[in-house]
Amino acid sequence: MSARFDSFVILGEMRTGSNLLESLLQTIPDVTCHGEAFNRTHLGGPGRDRLLGIDILTRDRDPMLLLERIRSGPGLNGFRLFHDHDLRVLDPVLQDRGCAKIVLGRNPVDSWVSLQIARQTQNWRLTDIRRRKTATVTFDAAAFDAFLAERAAFRARIQRALQTSGQTAFFLDYDDLREPGILAGLAAWLGRPGALDPKGTPMLVQNPEPLSEKVENWDQMQAELAKIDYFGLSTLPNFEPRRGAAVGSYVAARGVPLLWLPLGPEPRITSWLAALGRGGPPETGFTHKSLAEWKLAHPGFRSFALVRHPLDRADRALRGAILPGKYPRIRNLLIRDFGLNLPDPEAVPGMGAAAYRAALLGFLRFLKLNLNGQTAIRVDRFWCGQAHALAAMAGTVLPDMIVRADRMQAALDHLADRVGAAPVPVPAEQPAGPVPLAEICDDALQQAAAAAYPRDMAAFGFGAWAA
Q: DSSP letters along 248-283, please?
A: GG-EE-TTSSEEE--SS--HHHHHHHHHHSSSSSPB
CA distance 191 to 449: 57
Judge contact between 137 and 143, C-beta under 8 A. Answer: no
Q: What are phi and psi of 25, to 5 degrees?
A: -65, -30
Three-state DSSP class for residue 244: coil
Mean pLDDT of 247-262: 94
Tens of pLDDT, residue by residue over 15-60, are 898 989 999 999 898 999 999 999 988 898 888 888 999 999 999 9
Specify the pairing of strand 50-51 against strand 54-55: antiparallel
pLDDT at residue 205 in the model = 66
> Is the pLDDT reported for residue 203 higher than 70?
no
- pLDDT at residue number 92: 96
Distance CA 421, CA 411 (A): 14
User: pLDDT tens for residues 72-120?
Assistant: 999 999 999 999 899 999 999 999 999 999 999 999 999 989 889 888 8
Radius of gyration in angstroms for the set of CA atoms belonging to the chain, rounded to a whole number: 29
Average pLDDT, integer, range 372-387: 91
Q: Which helix (H) or strand (E) holds 187?
A: helix 180-189
Evaluate the omega torsion of the peptide bond into residue 29 and state whether it is cis, within 30 degrees of 0. no
Four-way CATH pick for 7-225: 3.40.50, 3.30.300, 3.40.30, 1.10.287: 3.40.50
What is residue 451's predicted lDDT score, i.e. its pLDDT? 95
Geometric angle at alpha carbon 96, from 90 and 100, rounded to 5°: 90
pLDDT at residue number 125: 66
Task: Flag whether pLDDT at 344 surpasses 60.
Answer: yes
In 64-138, DSSP assigns E strands to: 76-81, 99-105
Cβ–Cβ under 8 Å, residues 240 and 388: yes
Residues with Cβ within 8 Å of residue 269, at least 6 apart in sequence: 251, 260, 262, 306, 426
Across 250-277, b (16+ Cβ under 10 Å) vs e yields bbbbeebbbbbbbbbbbebbbebbbebb
| 68 vs 6: CA distance, rounded Å | 11
Q: How many helices (H) and strands (E) does the chain have?
A: 19, 11
Average pLDDT of the chain? Answer: 90
Distance between CA atoms of 194 and 28, rounded to whole angstroms?
8
- Is residue 322 within 8 Å of residue 346, measured between CB atoms? no
Collapsed DSSP state (helix, strand, coil) of residue 366: helix
Q: Which helix (H) or strand (E) holds 142?
A: helix 141-165
| Strand extents, DSSP E, 22-74 | 31-33, 50-51, 54-55
Above 80 in pLDDT, residue 229? Answer: no
143-201 tens-digit pLDDT: 888 888 888 889 999 999 999 999 999 999 988 998 889 999 999 999 988 767 666 66
Q: In angstroms, what CA-CA distances link 139 with 30, 116, 144, 174, 225?
A: 43, 9, 8, 21, 10
**Would you put residue 280 in left (φ > 0), alpha (ψ -120 to 50) or beta?**
left
Cβ within 8 Å of residue 231, ≥6 positions away: none
Residue 414: pLDDT over 50 = yes
CA of 242: how far to CAs of 314, 339, 389, in Å? Answer: 20, 28, 9
Contact 105, 16 (CB under 8 A): yes
Q: Where in the chain are all domains bearing CATH 3.40.50?
A: 7-225
Q: What is the mean predicted confidence (pLDDT) over 334-358?
A: 93
Least confident of 149-153, 164-168, 419-423, 445-449: 149-153
> Which burial class, exposed, middle or buried, applies to 242 when counting CB atoms under 10 A from its CB (0-12, 13-18, 19+)?
exposed
pTM flag (> 0.75): no
H helices of 277-318, in order, are 288-297, 310-317
Among 10-24, 241-255, 261-275, 308-322, which is the least confidently predicted range?
A: 241-255
Mean pLDDT over residues 375-388, rounded? Answer: 91
Would you say residue 124 has pLDDT above 70? no
**How far from chain centre, in Å, is Cα 222?**
29
DSSP-based three-state secondary structure for 209: coil
* CB atoms closer than 10 angstroms to residue 356: 24
Distance of CA 334 to the CA centre of its chain: 34
Q: Which own/partner pairs from 25-28 qualify as long-range (CB within 8 Å, at least 24 positions apart)?
A: 25/78, 27/196, 27/197, 27/200, 27/201, 28/187, 28/190, 28/192, 28/194, 28/196
